[in-house]
Structure 1
Amino acid sequence: MRIAITRLKGKEGDDQARCARRGHDCYAVSPLTGEMNSDQIEAFIQDVRDKKFDCIFFTSALPAQKIGPLLHDLPLPRVIAIGPQTAKALREYGIFCEVLYEFYSRAFVPFLGEWIVDKKIGIPRSDVPNVKLMQGIRDAGGVPFEFQIYSLIPTYEPLDLESAEGIMFTSALSFKSAIWKRREDLVLIAIGEITAEAMEEAGLIPDVVGDGSLEGTLSELNLFLLMNPGG
């Protein structure tokens, strides 16, 4: 299947190879672009230098890619990555990190357990609010410090789906920001349950819902195609 995958402009990474390993072709479509905030990046790096954090939590690969080169020669606290792609981005710069067992930030507090009490957590992320994560850390006794190092801005460009047989939305915001023409023959794919909820709220039921990862979603897609060989 040829799949259009929503990605920030220029951030499709190794999607093509990962899809090919599961028998699919893909290309990126970009309902959003990322604009970096140099002041927030500098403030975060300075706080790392000043050893203000007991832990750093990377909630996506983009902050890891942007900040990794600035961290590799600094003494670091405990570092947590949300998934293998984020961890890979950090490890490319020699940064040791632990990896969450789920692809959702809600797994962060349970992962740390009682250790989180009175710990200061530095979180470089986008400007899209994650109230549940921040409140969850506070409720568990931790102290979150959020750095909005980049903004997600709609491109307002219609998605090119002419050659696509399926479209995979990789976040709720990418779905909400997308301008696209719906087709009856287009397989609708949500990378995870939060994205699926956004689609359902808009009156679209995804054909496939993944586990939050590209690989897991492609596995669910293959199962869907096996069970629906004609459509």
Structure 2
Amino acid sequence: MRIAITRLENKAAGDRALCARYGHDCYTVSPLRSRLNEDRIAAFVDAVNRDAFDCLFFTSALPAAIIAPKLKRHPRSIAIGPKTAETLQQHGIEAETLPSYYSRDFVPYLGAWLAGRTVGIPRADVPNDALMEGIRAAGGTPCEVRVYALEPTGSRLALDDADAILFTSAMSYREANWQPEPGLLLMAIGEITADAMREGGDPPAVVGDGSLSGTLEILNKQCVSPQT
């Protein structure tokens, strides 16, 4: 099966090799692009290097790739999922990975440890009020720094050669310029993305666990025999 995967431009490292392990091929389609805020990145890195945080929470691989190479030190670090953890590890940061790959699991995962501690969160310019309120309710202090913005590319997604499309975030679905085609298998990387697709009238046939590897495993078990 040939899968179109929504990724930021130039941010699909490892996707094709991983898909091949599950008997599939893939290529990138980009409904979104990132615009870095260099001043905020520099200020956040300086704060980390000054020991301003007790913990860092990386909510996707992009902020990990932006921030990690610039750090001279790091406190306890949490990755939202395996791709983010792998990115951090490439820069010498051994991060803990949430047991399931959603921001809502951050507070339950750390629990009472959060009390009295400050959490640095470099992320996209997309609000997550529930995460901030959860950290405060646990006695912690969140410091969210929006180090990049996500902007629609406006480009029509090239799906002529695709057997399936995998949306990797709710925003990538909502901002995509695409047309569902007969026979195109719709996939969501996790439940939040799936909910957005259902609300938009495009219910996914396959819903993953929040990771690419987990989604491919579910695809193979649920729907099709992989084509090589």
User: If the length of structure 1 is used for normalisation, what is the TM-score?
Assistant: 0.95
CA distance in 1, matches of 2:94, 2:80: 13
Moved more, 74-83 or 145-154: 74-83
Equivalent in the alignment of 1:62: 62
Establish whether residue 199 from structure 1 lines up as the match of residue 197 from structure 2: yes
Structure 2 gaps of 5+ residues are: none
Q: 1:226: Cα distance to partner?
A: 4.1
Question: CA-atom RMSD, angstroms?
Answer: 1.3
Q: 1:122: Cα distance to partner?
A: 0.3
AA matched with 2:195: E
Structure 1 gaps of 5+ residues are: none
Per-residue Cα deviation, 1:157-208 (whole angstroms, up to 9, x for no partner): 0000000010000000000000111112100000000000000111121100
CA distance in 2, matches of 1:123, 1:117: 16
| 3-state SS of 1:11 partner | coil
Equivalent in the alignment of 2:84: 86
CA distance in 2, matches of 1:224, 1:164: 19
- Is the CA contact (8 Å cut-off) linking 2:59 and 2:103 kept in structure 1? yes
CA distance in 2, matches of 1:75, 1:23: 40
CA distance in 2, matches of 1:226, 1:57: 36
Moved more, 130-139 or 164-173: 130-139
Match of 2:125 among 127, 130, 136: 127
| 3-state SS of 2:179 partner | coil
Establish whether residue 11 from structure 1 lines up as the match of residue 11 from structure 2: yes
AA matched with 1:4: A
CA distance in 2, matches of 1:224, 1:29: 24
Q: How does 1:1-231 map to 2 (within 5 A)?
A: 1-71=1-71, 74-226=72-224
Structure 1 consecutive aligned stretches of length 4 or more whose deviation exceeds 3 Å: none
| 3-state SS of 2:223 partner | helix
- Is the CA contact (8 Å cut-off) linking 2:82 and 2:211 kept in structure 1? no
AA matched with 1:139: A
Counting aligned pairs with the same residue, the percent is 56
- Is the CA contact (8 Å cut-off) linking 2:7 and 2:28 kept in structure 1? yes
CA distance in 1, matches of 2:94, 2:209: 25
